[in-house]
Structure 1
Amino acid sequence: MSTATVTSKGQITIPVEVRNKLGLRPGSRLAFVPTASGSYEIHAQAASIRDLKGVVAPPPEPVTLDDMDEAVASGAAEHWT
Structure 2
Amino acid sequence: MTESTITAKGQTTVPQQVRDALGAHPGVRLVWHVLSDGTVVVRAKTKSILDLAGSLKRPKGSKRVTVEQMRI
- Could you state the TM-score of these two structures normalised by the residue count of structure 1? 0.54
Which residue of structure 2 lines up, in the alignment, with residue 4 of structure 1? 4
In the TM superposition, what is the alpha-carbon distance from 1:46 to its structure 2 partner? 2.6
Corresponding pairs, count: 50
Identity of aligned residues (%): 40
Q: Does 1:27 align with 2:27?
A: yes
Aligned residue identity for 2:20: N
Larger RCO: 1 or 2 (CA < 8 Å, sep 6+): 2
Q: Which has the higher helix share?
A: 1
Structure 2 residues not aligned, in runs of 5+: 51-72
The list of structure 1 runs, each at least 4 consecutive aligned residues, that deviate by more than 4 angstroms after superposition, is none
Displacement of 1:49 in angstroms is: 7.0
